[in-house]
Structure 1
Amino acid sequence: MKMFVEPADIYLYMDIVDFRKSINGLIVVVEQQMQLNPFRDALFVFCNKKRDKLKILYWDKTGFVLWYKRLEKHRFKWPKDDQIQHILLDEQQLQWLLSGYDVVGHQPLHYTASGL
C-alpha cells in the first residue's frame, strides 16, 4: 500500500477496540489509554475484537483521517502482551501487517478462488 503520508511514528494499540468508535472515540483512546498526543506526526493503528478489521487514525494538518481495512477470510496477526499498551512499528512492519503477515513471524495469508 502506498501511503499518502510519511509519519514520524506508527503506534499499534495492543488492546482491542470497539469499532463503533469513529474518529472522536479513537482520539480519546490515543489521549487517555495511550497517553499520546493525537495531533503528532504519527499513525495510530487499532484492531477489533475478531481481529478481522483495523482502523488507522492520523492528523494531516487540516483534520483527522481514518482508514479502514477488513479482511475477508482471515484475521490480522495481532501481537499480544498484557503488560504493554502500545508498540512502535516501522513502515515495513505496517506493510507486513496490512498484507496479512505477522509483524514478528512473517506468516503470509493464502487466498484461493473457490469453485475453480
Structure 2
Amino acid sequence: MLVKNITAKHVFLACGHTDMRKSIDGLAAIVQQNFKLDPFSKDVFMFCGRRKDRIKALFWDGDGFSLLYKRLDNGKFCWPKSPNEVISISEQQLRWLMEGLEICQPKSIKMSQPKSII
C-alpha cells in the first residue's frame, strides 16, 4: 500500500484556482502564509487548477507529506470561486465534490442538533 490510512480532522478547500505547477513545498507555503493554518496538522488541504479538471490534496501523515493528484478525463469539478479564501467541508461535501456536484446542495437534508423532549 502506497498511502497510509488517512484520518483527517478537517478537509480544507483553497477556493479559487491554484497554480498546479506548485509542488509540496509551494502548497504548504500557501497553507501557512495565505491561510494561517498549520500544514503539519492532521488536516487535508485541497487545491484546484484554473481549468477545474485537476485537483491536488496535501496532507502530513506523521513522517512526511503526501500529495495526491487527480485529473478528470471528462468533466470539471464544481470548485468554489472565491479567491484567497479557505473553507472547511464535511465528508459528505467532499463526496459530492468528487462526484462532480456542488458542495452546497439546495435539496439535501441539513444536519440538526437533537432537541430535548423534556
TM-score tier by shorter-chain length is 0.7 to 0.9
Aligned to 1:41: 42
Aligned residues: 103
Matches within 5 A, 1:99-110: 99-105=99-105
SS of the residue 2:15 aligns to: strand
**Unmatched 5+ residue regions in structure 2?**
107-118
Aligned to 2:55: 54
Deviations 1:79-116 (A, max 9, x none): 2235x61111011111111121111138xxxxxxxxxx
Structure 2 residue identity aligned to 1:99 = E
Q: Give the structure with the higher percent strand.
A: 1
Aligned to 2:91: 91
Aligned to 1:112: none
Q: CA RMSD in A?
A: 1.7
Quote the Cα distance in structure 1 between the aligned partners of 2:105 and 2:81: 13
Structure 2 residue identity aligned to 1:46 = F
Deviations 1:34-81 (A, max 9, x none): 110100110001000000000000000010000111111211001223
Aligned partners of 2:10 and 2:90 also within 8 Å = yes
What's the % identity of the aligned pairs? Answer: 39
Aligned partners of 2:16 and 2:80 also within 8 Å = no
Quote the Cα distance in structure 2 between the aligned partners of 1:4 and 1:102: 26
TM-score normalised by structure 1 residue count = 0.82
Following superposition, the deviation at residue 4 of structure 1 comes to 2.7
Aligned to 1:7: 8
**Unmatched 5+ residue regions in structure 1?**
107-116
TM-score normalised by structure 2 residue count = 0.81
SS of the residue 1:18 aligns to: coil
Quote the Cα distance in structure 1 between the aligned partners of 2:105 and 2:92: 13
Quote the Cα distance in structure 1 between the aligned partners of 2:78 and 2:105: 9
SS of the residue 2:38 aligns to: coil
